[in-house]
Amino acid sequence: MAEPRPDLAAGAPRKRNRLRWFKWLAGLALVCLLVGEGIYLWPRLHESWQALTEIHWGWLAACIATQAISLSAFGRVQKQLLEAGGVRIRQSKSLSVIYGSTAMALTLPAGQVFSTAFTYRETRRWGASPVVASWQLAISGVIAAAGLAAIGVGGALLVGGSVNTFTLILPIAGVVAIVLAVRYVSSRPQSIRNAARWVLHKVNDFRNQPADTGQERIDEIIEQVQSVQLGKRDGALTLSWSAVHRLADVSCLGFACLAVGADPRLSGLLFAFAAAKAVGSVPLAPGGLVVVDATLIALLTSAASISASQAVAAAFVYRGVSFILVAVVGWIVFLVLFRKHQHKDLEYDLEMEQRETKELHREATATNDLPQPKNDRSDPEPA
């Protein structure tokens, strides 16, 4: 066995020592930076604390009420979209799922994934088909993005700046495209079925499988899409509740500013809200922690024309209501109403796995039943 080289053996401790010194220096620099920022920001933080101790409780109550209205309106959006797909539920059920999913999205790493999966499971439990449940999630998300874009554009226009119309047109075009596609499939199911069969035959021919393999699944999906009937009334109510959802959330931020004695400009308030929500949608930290707060403080100070101490206090109040309070209530709702569903979710997963296994077995059986090509050449006899 070859002996270790002396130069390599001596180089390893030296490298570890350098890394250790680098960690110590980086930690010392971070401590110095935090101490310096604390000394520099102490007057502002002291003023922010004074603003919080002198908070106006009436505006704080209005802040909490408008946040509750915002979540209730989003529950109405979900309820209206599911009713368009033939699923009738009470507002209390829809709102409980909104609180539970929002708590997951705010507090868990990759919370949006858990939130979407939770909402999908609950809507399936209410009787929604896979297509209707997925359609509800997709169109509610696109409508929410369109409302946020509209608020951002409105704030930018009030400030007097120029805006990129593409940021507003894209979400609205997405909503229109989804609605038109669903209505087209619902009104012309046979033409869609014929086109899907033609494509399926080509795919099965390429895979050397029977021509009608998978046809039942396509027919099932088309029937599920046909069940979605988003009429003018449902569309108008959905857009109206979505507008209430966004405007109530903006009002919550405005009341948070008023609660600490600030008087923000409306244009800057809209712009700060849209920017904070856009930054929060990027999964950098649960609930956009630190990133959203920094965005709110910076834009409330620069665009809404309030002092830095008031911006810090207002951001603290708004995030305390829209983040901490909503997360606490949401987890309480989840533990009280949905914890018992975990065992059922396991049974549901097992059922879906068994169903998929049966489908794969059926396709494999159909493939094996095909006549196998014969080999015209006879096997050579052994010598």
pLDDT tens sequence across 3-13? 555 554 455 55
What are the pLDDT digits (tens) for 107-161? 988 888 899 999 999 998 998 888 888 888 888 887 888 888 888 777 767 765 5
Is there a contact between 218 and 193 (Cβ–Cβ < 8 Å)?
Answer: yes
Q: Residues 30-59: what's their mean pLDDT? A: 66
Q: Which two tokens stand for residue 309?
A: 């101490």
Buried b (16+ CB within 10 A) or exposed e, 251-281: bbbbbbbbbbbbebbebbbbbbbbbbbbbbe
How high does pLDDT run on average in the chain? Answer: 76
Residue pair 333/122 in contact (Cβ under 8 Å)? The answer is no
> How far from 349 is each of 35, 96, 117, 293, CA to CA, in Å?
52, 23, 12, 39
Task: Name residue 257's amino acid.
Answer: C
Predicted structure pTM score: 0.70
pLDDT confidence of residue 150: 81
Closest by CA to 296, choosing from 315, 271, 322, is: 315
Vertex 107: Cα angle to 23 and 87 (nearest 5): 150
Confidence of residue 169 (pLDDT cuts 50, 70, 90): low
d(CA 295, CA 79): 32
% of the chain exceeding 90 in pLDDT: 26
* Stretch among 57-66, 205-214, 330-339 having the lowest mean pLDDT: 205-214
- Within 10 angstroms of residue 32's Cβ, the number of other Cβ atoms is 10
Following DSSP, what letter does each residue of 364-377 receive, concatenated?
A: HHHHHTSPPPP--S
292 versus 180: the higher-pLDDT residue is 292
- Our CA dihedral for 14, 17, 23, 28, rounded to 10 degrees, sits at -120
Cα–Cα separations (whole angstroms), residue 175 to 23, 41, 167, 241, 366:
50, 45, 14, 15, 41
Averaged over 284-302, what is the pLDDT? 84
Cα distance between residue 111 and residue 37, in whole Å:
31
Residue 288, by phi and psi: left (phi above 0), alpha (psi -120 to 50) or beta? left
Between residues 165 and 267, which one has the greater pLDDT?
Answer: 267
What is the rounded CA–CA span in Å between residue 335 and residue 127? 22
